[in-house]
Structure 1
Amino acid sequence: MMKKLLLSALLLCISSEARCEFPESLRRTLDSMIRESLHEKAFPGASLAIGNRDGILYARQYGTHDYSGECPVTAKSLFDLASCTKVLSVTFAAMRLYDEGRIHVLDPTGKYLPELSETPIGDISLRELLTHTSGLPPQVLYTPLVRNAEGGRMFSNKKSEAYPYRVGTDYYVAHHVAFDTLLLSRTPQAGWRQGADRLYVNPAVDTLLLRQIAGAYKPDRRGSYSYSDSNFLLLKMILERVSGRSLDALTEELFAELGCENTCYNPLQCHDKGDCMPTETDHILDRQTVQGYVHDELAALMGGVGGNAGLFSTAEDVARFCQMTLNGGRHADRQIVSSKTLDLFVSSPYAKENIWRGLGFDKRNPETDPLGGRQCFGHTGFTGTIFWIDAEAGIYMVLLTNAVHPTRLNNKLSSSRLRTRIWETLKPYYPALAARSSAERDGCD
């Protein structure tokens, strides 16, 4: 009798373990898709995490830090998250301050930045900034800070000895770039912030950038969707002004509450350069190969702490943020963000105007976009990153790559639609992936 009971228990355990396994067919498909992208040189390395409300179901690293093949990607390799920063830093911090009643999304920008109160952009609301419906210019131009050291134009539409570096389609930058020495330096200056190995920035650049943003504002575009880093530069300033703390300190404290140790701005302050995935070889701000510093130029001018970009992390840390959102803002028996606040920020307040954007979160048309869904949200990043969440299904994915290494002109990741295809591949497996939750509660992980 005892032998039968032991045998039954063993069979039950085997059955339970089978329910807990990540589907082998899905694993093979995902691995094949990513390895094909590696073979096509869409990126040197990647880190993937798939999970649900209970945690990570599947995680794997692929490739190496660069095309030399010498340094394999590990679970601790730090990726430049690029625009995923907009959610994982600014939006995360904004939700906390909203919870505390210190900001309100319908308040005008001028309330928090009085220096803008008498300007045309002073009455733009925080909600408009968060949803990219403010009418602010799509880009903050930093090129007045640099010039052709030989005189003449900074850029040319033809390659030549004087313009050898391609930085866009039929777009080449001058061989020798000079800085506006009042605002930029290649050597350390007292009170200036560091944006790269040989880039130091006078904080007075903030005034120049604000002046450019206000000057380029088009009121007739207000209310229409236009993705803009300008919005998140202002949001960074607002959050810092309200809290009295720097954005990097706010963000790192929030991720510490999630039990994360590898999410930070300016990672070289606490990590080795070899831990960081390299990004582009930069010829505009003359930063050489960027590694351990932010790739985005605007964030570099912010000393690496940008509202639009600058955060570094691992797939596992980003996965914990995703898991927290799936659990209504809760992590490890602690309410990190209230569920009511989270619901507000992942909503689409302008859906009637066919603008699906959330407050900080990217959302897509549920009828036409493969990433679309009323409960689907996340963000992508220019360096080749994405995290995406389906709150209804209780599933998320994180894919981090350094697709801009060694050049942003490599568009193979985008043209292959790998990030979207991975999400589409997961959908048929939703029942099996969600079933993991009940299996883990049965104690079989």
Structure 2
Amino acid sequence: MRKNKRGLCLTALFGLILVHSACAQPQPYTGKAYVQEEKQAEQATVLLNNEKNVVPLHNLDNNRIASIHFSSAYAAGFDSLLNKYARVDVINGNDYMGAKPLDMLVQDTKFYHTLILQLTDAELANPQIIQFIKNNQKIKDVVVAFMGNSSSLVQLNEVTAPVIWSARVSPVSALFSAQAIFGGVAVTQRLTKSYSPKYAANTGFITSKVRLQYTVPEDAGINSDNLNSAIDAIAREAIVQRATPGCVVLVAKDGKVIFNKAYGNHVYDNTTPDKVTDIFDLASMTKISATTMEAMQLYDQGKLNLDSTIGTYMPIARNTNKKTLTVREILEHQAGLIPDIQTFEVIKPSDHSADSSAAFPTKVNEGYYLRKDYFDDVMLPAMLRSAVKTRGQYVYSDVGLIFTQQIVETITATPLNVFVQQKFYNPLGMQTAGFLPLMRFPANRIPPTEDDRKDRKALLDGYVHDPTAALMGGVAGHAGLFASANDVAILYQMMLNRGTYGGVQYIKPETVDLWTSKQSAVSRRGIGFDRWDPIADRHYPSKLASDQTYGHTGFTGTCVWVDPKYNLVYVFLSNRVYPNVSNKLGSLNIRPRIQDAVYEAIQKGL
């Protein structure tokens, strides 16, 4: 009887574990049927009028984009995919076809740099819409995504803006066209016959795939059922066992996002389901996703020498026992630095206030402001005074990455958060990645971490979990970065591409190779990056990961692993420290088991 009751309880609990997918496949196109329809869409899609190379879109950091639809039945899917690549505001053109004149659409879109118009045969027969295109193409970038009959092409004879035409009208064709606009898929076809002097046979522009594609596992030679069932089971186990209230899993194979699902809820009371667009505290993933990225770029530019001492870049360290430590030693965690310093334990009542003021400007949490210059007066001196006892040995250290932050900020005269936002996240199209997320997003998009009743006396929702980073105002070299799974995937697809994404070289290929390969003689580490462990019984990061694998984990229950051998990016994000720190996620091996489920699905094939 007890067994039956338990079974009923578990069944009910499974029913409450909501799963949200970002790669929903339009029915009836699933699995192999989707891949077949996608190939048909590719064969039916042509890019015209692209002499100025507007497509794929570029300069995403300085490009306000709007998508305008009228009668397209597939606008929702089209717009959803556009927003995987950049923020694209959606406008219903039908609102301007009645009492509100189309001229008002010109007024309402005046602050956009690029307009994407989804058109059907009906819209091409409307002279007002054609005139709208002709007027706007003179002053901004316009991209026409037309699905319909070839006979309608003549209506575009006076249009000079790029036209992505698909003769195949289907939901998958709409998704293909959306991705082609950003280079998620390549346009490979030209016109096979003449429709007008302007659109003659063999007319068309060929593009390359330069960004992530969003598709189904079968497109990468993997059976959807094998992949989905294995990951679903492990993720649900994590939630049932209260290892984490929820999580998001993303898998990109061969430059294609083939799996992206959210499981569970922000907290255990089932009020706010996790979504694939949620923004997580990445914890120590910050080390490689922010600080190391900046260091690599400065290394490329000859501004950072790995074998120079920190005293070279930090005058304040020249009269300390840190003066001879090299940047390389610090990034390989073998400089002999202590793991961390004391934080809230040494805070005095006079160091903080419940209100913000010129004397207490550093916001740690709601109702908690730290006094001015606390980092320079207390925290940095404590790091500089700390012992150096284990130089030459591997001792994982947050302090080393905080020193690295000071070094790169000194070189660039720019705060870490500003530099990585301007040089990496914005141009890559990463819409959520950054420090201090509450300055840009509402708290309901951010799963909370710990309910800190001891020090901050608040639920940490949108404020960094790491105490050292918190006392640094939320921007630190070792922690503080927040992002969605999709943004993490973009950043590490760039790394898997050996520094290139969207047609832009962010880091030199040889630098990526050097920093991500094994460099330490005493540990598995690369330069900044964690790596596959050669000690077999550790199974790190997972049993089946190749010896080329690099990435990092985060204390809040996160990880990213890149495996060049399998052309794979694996992202796992969770808030396992809610409501209090627990190691169940680790003891149940949730992250490595999901990673191995991916490898097993790859090995099984279709």
Deviation of 1:14 after TM superposition, in Å, equals 6.5
Provide the rounded CA distance (Å) in 2 between the counterparts of 1:92 and 1:303: 21
Provide the rounded CA distance (Å) in 2 between the counterparts of 1:53 and 1:13: 18
- Aligned AA (1:224): Q
Deviates more, 1:80-89 or 1:276-285: 276-285
Provide the rounded CA distance (Å) in 2 between the counterparts of 1:333 and 1:432: 33
Q: Is 1:395 paired with 2:596? A: no
What is residue 369 of structure 2 aligned with on the other side? 200
The 5 Å alignment of 1:26-175 reads: 26-146=227-347
Provide the rounded CA distance (Å) in 2 between the counterparts of 1:115 and 1:365: 36
The question of whether the paired residues in 1 share the 8 Å contact of 2:249 and 2:572 is answered with yes
Deviation of 1:184 after TM superposition, in Å, equals 2.2
- Aligned AA (2:401): F
- Aligned AA (2:258): L
Deviates more, 1:127-136 or 1:281-290: 281-290
Provide the rounded CA distance (Å) in 2 between the counterparts of 1:238 and 1:39: 44
Deviation of 1:67 after TM superposition, in Å, equals 1.4
What is residue 360 of structure 1 aligned with on the other side? 528
**SS, match of residue 284 in structure 2:** helix
What is residue 442 of structure 2 aligned with on the other side? 272
What is residue 306 of structure 1 aligned with on the other side? 476
What is residue 418 of structure 1 aligned with on the other side? 590
The question of whether the paired residues in 2 share the 8 Å contact of 1:366 and 1:373 is answered with no
Distance 1:137 1:15, change over 3 A: closer
Deviation of 1:274 after TM superposition, in Å, equals 1.0
Match 1:382 to one of 540, 555, 561:
555
Deviation of 1:12 after TM superposition, in Å, equals 9.5
- Aligned AA (2:323): G
Deviates more, 1:210-219 or 1:53-62: 210-219
Q: Highest CA radius of gyration, 1 or 2?
A: 2
Give a deviation string over 1:265-285, Cα, whole Å, max 9, x none. 111101111111101011332
Deviation of 1:347 after TM superposition, in Å, equals 2.0
What is residue 407 of structure 2 aligned with on the other side? 238
Distance 1:13 1:286, change over 3 A: closer
Deviation of 1:189 after TM superposition, in Å, equals 2.3
Match 1:225 to one of 394, 401, 419:
394
Provide the rounded CA distance (Å) in 1 between the counterparts of 2:431 and 2:259: 20
Distance 1:112 1:18, change over 3 A: closer
Provide the rounded CA distance (Å) in 1 between the counterparts of 2:457 and 2:437: 17
Provide the rounded CA distance (Å) in 1 between the counterparts of 2:35 and 2:253: 24
Name the TM-score, length of structure 1 as normaliser: 0.83
Deviation of 1:185 after TM superposition, in Å, equals 2.2
Provide the rounded CA distance (Å) in 2 between the counterparts of 1:246 and 1:99: 19
The question of whether the paired residues in 2 share the 8 Å contact of 1:77 and 1:277 is answered with yes
Provide the rounded CA distance (Å) in 2 between the counterparts of 1:326 and 1:39: 34
Distance 1:201 1:11, change over 3 A: closer
Provide the rounded CA distance (Å) in 1 between the counterparts of 2:34 and 2:578: 50
The question of whether the paired residues in 1 share the 8 Å contact of 2:278 and 2:484 is answered with yes
Q: Is 1:251 paired with 2:427? A: no
Give a deviation string over 1:198-248, Cα, whole Å, max 9, x none. 2212323333222222332224x1010001111111111111111111111
The question of whether the paired residues in 2 share the 8 Å contact of 1:53 and 1:323 is answered with no
The question of whether the paired residues in 2 share the 8 Å contact of 1:263 and 1:313 is answered with yes
Deviation of 1:187 after TM superposition, in Å, equals 1.7
The question of whether the paired residues in 2 share the 8 Å contact of 1:196 and 1:287 is answered with no
- Aligned AA (1:31): D
**SS, match of residue 264 in structure 1:** coil
Provide the rounded CA distance (Å) in 1 between the counterparts of 2:458 and 2:344: 17
Provide the rounded CA distance (Å) in 1 between the counterparts of 2:35 and 2:324: 63
Provide the rounded CA distance (Å) in 1 between the counterparts of 2:443 and 2:37: 44
- Aligned AA (2:219): C
Distance 1:145 1:330, change over 3 A: same
Deviation of 1:188 after TM superposition, in Å, equals 0.9
The question of whether the paired residues in 1 share the 8 Å contact of 2:283 and 2:478 is answered with yes
The question of whether the paired residues in 2 share the 8 Å contact of 1:257 and 1:336 is answered with no
The question of whether the paired residues in 2 share the 8 Å contact of 1:145 and 1:184 is answered with no
Deviation of 1:195 after TM superposition, in Å, equals 1.5
Distance 1:204 1:259, change over 3 A: same
Deviation of 1:373 after TM superposition, in Å, equals 4.1
What is residue 504 of structure 2 aligned with on the other side? 334
Deviation of 1:361 after TM superposition, in Å, equals 0.8
What is residue 219 of structure 2 aligned with on the other side? 20
Provide the rounded CA distance (Å) in 2 between the counterparts of 1:31 and 1:115: 51
Distance 1:36 1:111, change over 3 A: same
Provide the rounded CA distance (Å) in 2 between the counterparts of 1:33 and 1:416: 9
Gaps of at least 5 residues in structure 1 are 1-9, 147-178, 436-445
The question of whether the paired residues in 1 share the 8 Å contact of 2:532 and 2:548 is answered with no
Deviation of 1:300 after TM superposition, in Å, equals 0.4
**SS, match of residue 565 in structure 2:** coil
The question of whether the paired residues in 1 share the 8 Å contact of 2:217 and 2:259 is answered with no
The question of whether the paired residues in 2 share the 8 Å contact of 1:83 and 1:309 is answered with yes
What is residue 4 of structure 1 aligned with on the other side? none
The 5 Å alignment of 1:209-220 reads: 209-219=379-389
Name the TM-score, length of structure 2 as normaliser: 0.61
Provide the rounded CA distance (Å) in 2 between the counterparts of 1:115 and 1:432: 56
Provide the rounded CA distance (Å) in 2 between the counterparts of 1:288 and 1:406: 11
Distance 1:373 1:418, change over 3 A: same
Provide the rounded CA distance (Å) in 2 between the counterparts of 1:402 and 1:12: 34
Give a deviation string over 1:262-316, Cα, whole Å, max 9, x none. 0011111011111111010113322410001101100001100011110000001
Give a deviation string over 1:390-424, Cα, whole Å, max 9, x none. 1121112100000000001x221111011111122
What is residue 155 of structure 1 aligned with on the other side? none
Deviation of 1:429 after TM superposition, in Å, equals 3.1
Provide the rounded CA distance (Å) in 1 between the counterparts of 2:558 and 2:305: 30
Distance 1:279 1:15, change over 3 A: closer
Q: Is 1:404 paired with 2:574? A: no
Gaps of at least 5 residues in structure 2 are 1-32, 40-215
- Aligned AA (1:20): D
Deviation of 1:28 after TM superposition, in Å, equals 0.6
